[in-house]
């Protein structure tokens, strides 16, 4: 079930940024949500994002592009040519690769594996502080907060404890006032659970289906 961007925006508090998750969407679909007022686009894959930006032309330059999928180190150069924000930094090696190759100061979020799922990317909550302290020493990387996917459930209420734990971690890290770290963005909640995520403290959501409708492919 999809809703218009205007309806979603009217539902979501003003302080919450909406990143439209554009995985597998067509340029026409993405152009339509940008025309409707979307300011931030998320893509899961570097190659898809490159193709999307090329297809959109100057329209694509009007929005911020977020990497919201796992970023492989061999794709860093291409990613830096496409994305304004990397939401999925989960290792010091990846952060160092970005730091070496970026030409400007790069905003990143640290991806938290809040469900501690071994098959998923993201740093476990208990290891986040150590990682952030390491990333904070890199001169061209600006840590702006945390993101989490959380386990996927049919019932959004089941995701709530993972959002709550990530918000608690976010607050604890903010209280440490680590030099060069600005805990201002907490990216949690996709189409099925964005309401619960916002209630638990998210100020950035990543809806796809709710904006675009069910994928046809």
CATH assignment of the domain containing 185: 3.20.20.10
CB neighbours of 15 closer than 8 A, spacing ≥ 6?
A: 203
Q: Which domain holds residue 195?
A: 5-210
Residue 90 domain-assigned? yes
Query: How many Å apart are CA 120 and CA 108, to the nearest integer?
Result: 19
For residue 217, is it within any domain? no
Give how far the C-alpha of residue 154 lies from the chain's centroid of Cα atoms, to the nearest Å.
Answer: 21
Helix ranges restricted to H, the chain: 5-11, 27-36, 46-56, 76-82, 92-101, 128-135, 160-176, 194-199, 209-212
Query: Into how many domains does the chain fold?
Result: 1
What is residue 195's predicted lDDT score, i.e. its pLDDT? 96
- Distance, in Å, from the CA atom of 100 to the CA atom of 155, rounded to the nearest integer, reads 42
For residue 216, tell me if it sits in a domain.
no
pTM of the model: 0.95
Q: Which residues of the chain have pLDDT under 50?
A: 1
pLDDT at 152: 84
The answer to the question of residue 29 being in a domain is yes
- 215 is a domain residue: no
Q: What is the pLDDT of residue 153?
A: 84
Residue 98, in any domain of the structure: yes
Residue 57 lies in a domain: yes
Write out pLDDT tens, residues 64-110. 999 999 999 999 999 999 999 999 999 999 999 999 999 999 999 99
């Amino acid at each position: 079930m999809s809703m218009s961007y205007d309806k979603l925006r009217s539902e979501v508090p003003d302080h919450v940024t909406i990143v439209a998750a554009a995985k597998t969407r067509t340029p026409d679909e993405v152009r339509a949500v940008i025309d409707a007022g979307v300011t931030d686009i998320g893509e899961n894959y570097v190659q898809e994002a490159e193709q999307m930006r090329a297809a959109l032309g100057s329209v694509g330059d009007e929005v911020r592009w977020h990497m919201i999928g796992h970023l492989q180190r061999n794709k860093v150069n291409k990613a830096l040519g496409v994305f304004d924000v990397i939401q999925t930094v989960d290792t010091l090696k990846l952060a160092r690769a970005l730091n070496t190759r970026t030409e400007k100061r790069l905003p990143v979020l640290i991806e938290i594996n809040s469900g501690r799922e071994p098959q998923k990317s993201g740093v476990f909550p208990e290891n986040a502080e150590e990682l952030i302290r390491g990333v904070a020493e890199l001169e061209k990387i600006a840590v702006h907060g945390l993101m989490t996917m959380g386990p996927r459930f049919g019932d959004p209420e089941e995701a709530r404890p993972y959002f709550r734990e990530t918000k608690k971690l976010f607050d604890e890290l903010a209280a440490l006032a680590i030099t060069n770290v600005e805990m201002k963005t907490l990216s949690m909640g996709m189409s099925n659970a964005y309401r619960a995520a916002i209630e638990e403290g998210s100020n950035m959501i990543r809806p796809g289906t709710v904006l675009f409708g069910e994928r046809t492919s």
